[in-house]
Copies of this chain bind each other. A is one copy, B any other.
Amino acid sequence: MKNMQAARALSALGHETRLAIFRVLVQAGPDGMAAGDIARRLDLAPNALSFHLKDLTYAGLAVSRQSGRFVIYSAVFPAMTGLVDYLTENCCGGADCAVTPPTRGKLRSTGSQTVSATSPRRKVAGSSSRNSKNRSKK
């Protein structure tokens, strides 16, 4: 997942209302849920809901399909999976991110334990690289 794409998804979810909408869609499962039902469930004005759904759709987190006079929205699960993977791979310290208390999992550390699918990297602080010039922006 590209940085920009990740930022877009994170930004879309970084709003309480949209996060709530997305959670409802996740709960609804692959069958999705009609816009009106979502609106009722969250007590949102239909136009406000539409506004946020557009955002989630643009971010690739939701899709819609028409069904009679209803528009059914559903969560795009691979997008969320991709986002979680992105965060795990790029934004976690190393070994144990995303694992938290292995409580139940007791990932019996057979030999090369802590493989962690996660960060193999670790460029470390170092740096103070004198590079420059390219004021990146969106």
Contacts and interface: CB of A to CB of B under 8 A. Distances in A.
Interface residues of A, number: 90
Determine chain A's interface SS by DSSP, over half rule: loop
Nearest to A30: B93
A127 B41 contact: yes
Interface in A107-125: 107-108, 110-112, 114-125
Interface of A: 3-4, 6-17, 19-20, 22-23, 26-34, 37, 40-45, 75, 77, 80-85, 87-88, 90-100, 102-108, 110-112, 114-138
Given A16-B137, A80-B87, 7 more contacts: A8-B14, A10-B19, A27-B125, A37-B125, A37-B128, A43-B131, A98-B118
